[in-house]
Amino acid sequence: MKELKLMKGNEAIAEAAIRCGMDGYFGYPITPQSEVLEYLMAEEPYKRRTGMAVLQAESEVASINMVYGGAASGKMVMTSSSSPGFSLMQEGMSYIAGAELPCLVVNVQRGGPGLGTIQPSQADYFQATKGGGNGDYKVIVLAPASVQEMADFVQLGIDLAFKYRNPALILSDGVIGQMMEKVELAEQKERLTDEQVAERCPWALTGKKPHRGHNIITSLDLDSSRQEKFNEKLQAKYREIEKNEVRFEEISCEDADYIAIAFGSSARLCQKAIDLCRAEGIKLGLLRPITLYPFPYAPIEKLAQRVKGFLVVELNAGQMIEDVNLAVKGKVQVEHFGRMGGIIPTPDEIVAALKTKILGGK
Amino acid sequence: MSENFDRPEIRKPENLIYSRTKVLTDNIMHYCPGCGHGTAHRILAEVIDEMGIQNDTIGVAPVGCSVLAYNYLDVDMAEAAHGRAPALATAIKRLNPNKFVFTYQGDGDLAAIGTGETIHACNRGEKIVIIFINNGIYGMTGGQMAPTTLEGMKTATCPYGRDISIMGNPLKMTELVSHLKGTYYVTRQSVQTPASVRKTKAALRKAFEYQKDGKGACFVEIVSSCNSGWKMTPVQANKWMEENMFPFYELGDIKVDGELVK
């Protein structure tokens, strides 16, 4: 039965994981996402609910490699962390992408670089959307802007991960992770049986079967020509993802002269900025990328043909703006407004930035 | 010799006293002649075969000379990042408790870059078998110093011999994990003589039997030679190993049934 609850974003992730029939969660505490592991440990799904395994690992390096192991055996597995911990996971992410395994990873971003701050940030955009670890690979990136989406994207993320045998990432931030909102929780799904897993994942390590040779999960091929072929196969998969999985939301774009482009918590701030602008007669709209990879280049390119300018709002020094520029191709003005180090701007600051950077510059 | 195998009067089932186990594939191994990996693979495969668990076994071999072990062992296998095999094995076993799960790791992998994963998997008492090949050197990358390189031993990154005052001490990982509550069976063996091969096979069998009974982490070190890395002939390497490695890395059981015996 569906259920309405008031929850933190991080708790919603954890509850959604249990409800979608996740087989295992492996994590390590780090602010501002520790509630995911805390909630799961308090729920004890391994004893009291679905039998889902939950383990506090010795490090983020171990967490992501537990995810690698679980995914290699065809199970639905996930981990979560925040920026410095997510950096530690990049080796594992690269191996998982290279071994073509499905899994879900959550990064509730905080400010950096280094230990940075525990306050919200969106400064891991490049790391999330451009690969992150070594080698040519991509991770499907979902950017939730509400507690509801934190819950919903667990199911969506793991579904996409299995559809493409590719890691999926929920790129959240400290605002969405920590804030409380009402959330409609999905009905409890049964976990798959071992037989169902073996049928769904004929490639997985489920024990050698009479009808097949032994399965091997690896990212290694010492033969360069075969390794190049494999890379071409990966790239073809990414083109397929780019064709099928672009998700975005447009708010008040129909009559807009100016468009704010923002994801996650920044998009929430921009919604208020739209109201403030429109009260003054400035027609501002918002395009919110929901998938950061694949990025919604086409809809932005389309808007660029009729609007007067774009303001890219991010909690960083200007990262997504590079993708926006690739879409706009210099047709109209594109400016960036961001705060860093864990500072969250007010909607007024966004309106002021629009006025100085774009309206004033006319 | 070989023409005898083609003589049908000899090639009869009742004359068969030994054959290659079906758990080894037909692939030609890349290991150097004289290396212990081939023998260790064979007895591991024989144990899996004799226990009848080929279809219920999942192995993990991380970076190192044995990274391609999946080409030789005919069981479902994963290649892991350097040092991370015990983390993979932890999840595989917890999510598939009815499967037999083992890792197969070298000394650089298990005792240097993967020290954290090794200690914590052992300490949690993960119900897995960890097979640890210790030859005191990084073979795959061309013979550099390992955490287990002996004092004075020459490698590519300690060309004048391991100087303890600069490079630190060789690490006895097996003794270390034997002191963790989570380990149930810890032993150190070798594979350079027929007798030692038999002993090691028995140790592996014991480790897998313990896993069958749901006991804690089982840790089997196999002290092995790396004649190409050590720049010796296989015969010289075995002699050097017996004279130099064994006095420091003493053979025998260290922990049995969860109790220290040494």
- Write down all domains in chain B, each with its CATH number in brackets: 2-260 (3.40.50.970)
Structure tokens at B239: 């002699």
Express each pLDDT in A347-357 by its tens digit.
Answer: 999 999 999 99
**In the predicted model, is pLDDT for residue A193 greater than 60?**
yes
- What is the distance of C-alpha B105 from the center of its chain? 6
Residue from B68, B94, B122, B140 whose CB has the most chain A CBs within 10 Å, to mutate: B94
Residue A91 and residue B81: Cβ atoms within 8 Å?
Answer: yes
Q: What is the pLDDT of residue B1?
A: 47
DSSP H helical ranges for B69-193: 85-95, 107-108, 115-124, 164-167, 173-178
ipTM of the prediction: 0.96
Residue B70 and residue A95: Cβ atoms within 8 Å?
Answer: no
- Report the percent of chain A where pLDDT is more than 90: 98
Residue A205 and residue B58: Cβ atoms within 8 Å?
Answer: yes
- Write down all domains in chain A, each with its CATH number in brackets: 3-196 (3.40.50.970), 249-359 (3.40.50.920)
Q: How far apart are the C-alpha atoms of A95 and A112, rounded to whole Å?
A: 25
Q: What is the 3-state secondary structure (H, E, C) of A283-347?
A: CEEEEEECEEECCCHHHHHHHHCCCCEEEEEECCCCCHHHHHHHHHCCCCEEEEEECCCCCCCCH
Structure tokens at B186: 């810890």
User: Between B54, B57, B88, which is nearest A69 by CB?
Assistant: B88
Task: Please report how the helices A9-19 and A147-164 are oriented relative to each other, as an axis angle in degrees rounded to 10.
Answer: 40
Express each pLDDT in A198-234 by its tens digit.
Answer: 999 999 999 999 889 999 999 999 999 999 999 999 9
Q: Determine the number of helices (DSSP H) and then strands (DSSP E) in chain B.
A: 11, 10
Mean pLDDT across chain A, nearest whole number?
97
The Cα of A75 is separated from the nearest Cα of chain B by a number of Å equal to 7
Structure tokens at A352: 């002021």
Backbone angles phi, psi at B214, to 5 degrees: 75, 25
pLDDT in tens, chain B (262 residues): 455 567 788 888 888 888 889 999 999 999 999 999 999 999 999 999 999 999 999 999 999 999 999 999 999 999 999 999 999 999 999 999 999 999 999 999 999 999 999 999 999 999 999 999 999 999 999 999 999 999 999 999 999 999 999 999 999 999 999 999 999 999 999 999 999 999 999 999 999 999 999 999 999 999 999 999 999 999 999 999 999 999 999 999 999 999 999 8
| B116: closest chain A residue by CA | A58
Contact between A312 and A273 (Cβ < 8 Å): no
Which residues sit opposite A141 in a β-bridge? Answer: A169, A293
**Pairs of residues, one from chain A and one from chain B, whose beta carbons lie less than 8 Å apart:** 127
**In the predicted model, is pLDDT for residue A362 greater than 90?**
no
Q: What is the C-alpha end-to-end distance of chain A, expressed in Å?
A: 54
A194 and B CB contact within 8 Å: yes
**b/e per residue, B168-198, with b = 16+ CB within 10 A?**
eebbbbbbbbbebebbbbbbbbbbbeeebbe
Structure tokens at A84: 């410095």
User: Between A24, A208, A219, which is nearest B91 by CB?
Assistant: A24
Residue A65 and residue B96: Cβ atoms within 8 Å?
Answer: no
Q: What is the C-alpha end-to-end distance of chain B, expressed in Å?
A: 46
Structure tokens at A118: 């525990």
Which residues in chain B have Cβ-Cβ distances shorter than 8 Å to A213? 74
A positions 69-88 inside 8 Å of B (CB) = 69-70, 72-73, 75, 77
Which residues in chain A have Cβ-Cβ distances shorter than 8 Å to B117? 58, 61-62, 65
Which residues in chain B have Cβ-Cβ distances shorter than 8 Å to A205? 58, 76-78, 92
A258-261/A77-81 β-pairing: unpaired
Express each pLDDT in A263-272 by its tens digit.
Answer: 999 999 999 9
User: Between A65, A73, A214, which is nearest B81 by CB?
Assistant: A65
B156 and A CB contact within 8 Å: no
| B69 Cβ contact list (under 8 Å, min separation 6) | B41, B59, B61, B77, B104
User: Between B74, B79, B92, which is nearest A208 by CB?
Assistant: B74
Phi-psi region of A211 (alpha: psi -120 to 50; beta: other; left: phi over 0): alpha
Which residues in chain B have Cβ-Cβ distances shorter than 8 Å to A210? 55
Q: What is the pLDDT of residue B200?
A: 98
Residue A61 and residue B92: Cβ atoms within 8 Å?
Answer: no
Which residues in chain B have Cβ-Cβ distances shorter than 8 Å to A61? 84, 87, 116-117
**In the predicted model, is pLDDT for residue A361 greater than 80?**
no
**In the predicted model, is pLDDT for residue A283 greater than 50?**
yes
Residue A208 and residue B55: Cβ atoms within 8 Å?
Answer: yes
Largest CA distance in chain A: 72
Residue A68 and residue B95: Cβ atoms within 8 Å?
Answer: no
B51 and A CB contact within 8 Å: no
Which residues in chain A have Cβ-Cβ distances shorter than 8 Å to B130? none
